[in-house]
Structures are given as structure tokens and as C-alpha cells.
Structure 1
Amino acid sequence: MAQLPPSTAPTIPAYKTAFLQACLSANVLTFGTYTLKSGRQSPYFFNAGAFHTAPLLSAISTAYAHTIIAFLAENPDIPQPDVIFGPAYKGIPLATTTLLALHTLAPDSWSRTSYTFNRKEAKNHGETGSLVGSPLANKNILVIDDVITAGTAMRETIELVKKEGGRVVGFVVAVDRGERISEGESQSAMGLIRREFGVRTARIVGLDDLIGVVRAEGGGLEGEAERMERYRERWRASD
């Protein structure tokens, strides 16, 4: 597993260090030229689907849990979530394992919290419908997802929760790319969601964190860090 130099490790919490090291060691964070859903060409790609072993899943779910606990502590007016919601498909294991991690870290606070995820297509037999897990009606919903660029999936999730009678009280992502969603827009997708829906957001890491760990790693990755920095300067959002 990749190791961060001791001089950089104290600058971020241990759970973030473990998460970033897992991203590198498992090739969750990869480099090249990737076409995003927006059509933009990115020099890096984050694939949460690669967290498919127990140690890796533990690293990301623990990082989510610590991020959520800090997020709620910093925003005491946000009500305790009744449901952790994970949008299909990558959000499904993230929601379930994060709820377990939250219960491990603070069982008294999270023993009554449920999880829910959606199906891509509604089921028309047995337990019909598009949701699996807790009903959302009259519930406070905390949504977690892997990464956000354009915010399309985030909007769809907020509308789905609203349709089901729930209220999104927060949105937490593993990686916030922090880039403008288009040439004519100065804000990021996260910033736009905060402005448009009044939903507060949090992240495990941002692009600055990714660049920092790649630079610290060395081993020929300096060029990748420079490509990411140029990309950041080209698309950096104002928020």
C-alpha cells in the first residue's frame, strides 16, 4: 500500500489519510484522459466501484462516517438524519456500510437510523416500488454519493426524495471535484445545489487533497499532479 511521507500525514485526519492511501493502492484514483458524463476531458478518474474488498470498503465507509459526524457537529441546526440514502448503483454499498460505520463510532446516535436505496427500474411484483429499505415519507434524509461533477444525479436524487415525501437535510460525497459545471457558470455542482435547493453539503476530500497526496507520493506521479493542477486552474469554481 502506498504510504504518505510522515511530514504530510499530520496535516489531515487519520481517516482521510487512510482513505487517500486506499485510493492510490487500489487504483481507485487513476490517471489518463477520461471523458466525463458532461463530455469534459479529465486527467484523473475516481471509481468508487473499486472499493470491493473488506479493507477498502472499511476505509471509505469509515471516512464517510467521520465526515458525516463532523458535518453534523459543524451544523447543529441540521436534524439527526432518519435515513442514509444511497443512489443506485454505487451509492448502495456506500449507504449500507456507512450506516454500519456510524453505528460503530456512535451507537447511541445512530441506532435508530435506517438506510434506503433506489432501483433503476420500479419492481412490479412482490414488494413493488422503486425503493429498498426505509420509506422516506416525513423523514430527514442524508444522501451520500461517490463523486459529483455536473450535479445531474444529485438533482435527480433530491427530486426523488421529495416525491417520496422526504426532506434532504444534507449531501455528502467522497470526492468533490470543485469545478465549474460549464463555461458560462462560475459555481460548482455542489455550490449550485446549495444555492438552488438550500441543501448543505460535505465531502471527504476535494481535488486539492488529491493533488496533495499525488505530489507527496512521488514515484513518477509528479507529472500527473501537474496535469491535475492545470485542469483545476482551467475549471476551478468560484465557491
Structure 2
Amino acid sequence: MRQTTDPTGQPPAADPLAQEFVQFAVEAGVLRFGEFKTKAGRLSPYFFNAGLFDDGAKLGRLAGFYARSLVGSGLQFDMLFGPAYKGIPLAAAVAVELARLGHNRPFAYNRKEAKDHGEGGTLVGAPVRGRVLIIDDVISAGTSVRESIAMIRAAGATPCGVAIALDRQEKASDGNTDSPWSAVQYVRDQLHLHVASIATLADLLQYLQTSSAADLAPHLPRVRAYRDAYGV
């Protein structure tokens, strides 16, 4: 993951890929501003809904951002795994884009319920083996990641990391108590998996600070205040 400050304590230079992605998400209506209630019961000034990457052009561009981010990260993996349900089209689309960049990798995904006919089982696609990278949209509580880890290990493979679109960089919560760390930090530090994100809350703040769009200006102080209250 990218650092949010450099060794001198200054904000890092803007990441061009992350800034391009945030702009794309805003223009596609996937990243919205207003007042939204989160699973933790917080009122967030922004909302990211990857389910709205809902046509071929948007999904293709999203997969391209994942692929470019992964290639740039240097993370080594042998295949992709998409947890049901949002991870399924993501893993397939990212596999296509990685192949276009010269990094052809197999992919697999799971069913929510085991199939008792045909090939049977809960896993579909390529055999799950080697170093497996989990593809998802965000990490909210880490539940999906833990379930994916269990399936990957049960197949005899090794989970090596998680790729997500947006890291909200905020404290995890069970609705009553705030954790001292974020869900992403939990996956990284407690589950010992590398987490690669296309963009972070810090990238969103940089975008709002530099955007010339007048309608976005009022959202900057609200997002900054939310980060000050719940950020990690």
C-alpha cells in the first residue's frame, strides 16, 4: 500500500493512476457525495458503489485500472480468485486486462452453495493452486477475505494478497465499538496478506483539493472532517 506521508511528514506527490481512477469513478457516478449511512452506522460524506460499474465500457476501464495497479505493484501471484458475488465479474475482467498487458493468469471463483451435480463443489474455473490473489471491490470487515482464505487453503493453494478498488482508510467498527485499525490494516497485519488498492481516501482528498469542478468544492471539508474523525 502507498504511504500517506513521506519521511519528512509532507503529503506525497499525487499518484497519477489513482487520480485518474478517482476522476473516472466520480464521472461514472460510482463515487458519490452527500450523506450516506455506512454498515458501521456512520454518516459518511461519500459513497463508493462498485456495483454501478454496470456496463461493458465501465467494467473494462475498471479492470484496466486493477491490472495497471497490479503490474505496477510488483506483487507476484499465479492466479486470481473472485469471491461471490462482486468478485466474480471483477476477477474475470481483470484476468482479461492482465492478459492484454502480457500477464496471462488463470482465474477461479466460488459459488455460495455447493453444486451436487456436474463437476460439483463450490469452486469454478481454473484449478486453485500456487499463489492466489483475491480480487474484490473494497474490504469492509474482512469477512469475505477470511472466507476466501479458507477456500483457497482448503484447495491446497496459498493466498498471497488482496486487490481492491478503494481503501477507505477508516477505523473498522462492529457498530458499537471502533477498532484502532482499519479493515485493510487487519487483513495486512493479522491475516498477513499484502493489500493493493487502486486508490485510497488520501487520493480522494487530493483529487478534491485539486479539482476545478465548482460542485465538488463543498465536499472537501466534509470528507476531511470525516477522515479526521474516523481515519487511521
Q: TM bucket by the smaller chain?
A: 0.7 to 0.9
Label 1:231 to 1:147 Cα distance change in 2 as closer, same or farther (>3 A): same
Structure 1 residues 174-185: aligned runs within 5 Å: 174-182=165-173, 183-185=177-179
> How has the CA–CA distance of structure 1 residues 156 and 63 changed in structure 2, closer, same or farther, with 3 Å as cutoff?
same
d(CA) in 1 for partners of 2:146, 2:40: 15
CA-to-aligned-CA distance 1:130-156 (integer Å, 9 cap, x gap): 1111122x4210111111232222222
SS in 1 for 2:137: strand
State how far apart, in whole Å, the 2-side matches of 1:91 and 1:63 are: 15
Question: 1:117 is matched with which residue?
Answer: 109
CA shift, 1:214, in A, is: 3.1
1:116 and 1:131 in contact (8 A); partners too = yes
Per-residue displacement from partner, 1:86-105 (whole Å, max 9, x unpaired)? 11111111111111111111
Q: TM-score of the superposition, structure 2-length normalised?
A: 0.85
Aligned pairs for 1:189-228 (under 5 A) are 189-215=183-209, 216-228=211-223
- How big is each residue's C-alpha offset from its partner over 1:47-89, in whole Å with a ceiling of 9 and x where there is no partner? 11111223212221111011111222xx5xxxx4221111111
Say which structure, 1 or 2, has more relative contact order (CA 8 Å, 6+ apart): 2
Q: Answer yes or no: is 1:132 the counterpart of 2:132.
A: no
Contact 2:160 2:194 in 1 (8 A): yes
Q: Does 1:99 align with 2:99?
A: no
Does the C-alpha gap of structure 1 residues 49 and 127 become closer, same or farther in structure 2, counting only changes over 3 Å? same
Question: 1:214–1:225: 8 Å Cα contact kept in structure 2?
Answer: yes
Partner secondary structure for residue 190 of structure 1: helix
The one-letter amino acid paired with 2:222 is: R
1:152 and 1:39 map into 2 onto residues whose CA distance is 18
- Greater alpha carbon shift after TM alignment, 37-46 vs 225-234: 37-46
- CA RMSD, Structure 1 to Structure 2 (Å): 1.9
Structure 1 residues 58 and 148, CA, compared in 2 at 3 Å: closer, same or farther? same
Matched with 2:18 is 16
Give the corresponding residue for 1:6. Answer: none
Equivalent pair of 1:31/1:43 in contact (CA under 8 Å): yes
Residue 45 of structure 1 aligns with which residue?
Answer: 47
Unaligned runs of 5+ in 2: 1-12
Amino acid at match of 2:161: G
The number of residue pairs the alignment matches comes to 216
Residue correspondence of structure 1 range 30-69 to structure 2 within 5 A:
30-69=32-71
C-alpha deviations, 1:171-208, integer Å up to 9, x for none?
A: 11100011111345221111111111211111100011
> Which amino acid in 1 is paired with 2:162?
F
Q: Is the 8 A contact 1:18 1:59 kept in 2?
A: no
Equivalent of residue 81 in structure 1, options 77, 83, 97: 77
Could you tell me how far apart the structure 1 residues matched to 2:27 and 2:178 are? Answer: 37
The percent identity for this pair of structures is: 38
Aligned position for 1:151:
142
Q: Does structure 2 conserve the Cα–Cα contact (< 8 Å) formed by 1:16 and 1:204?
A: yes
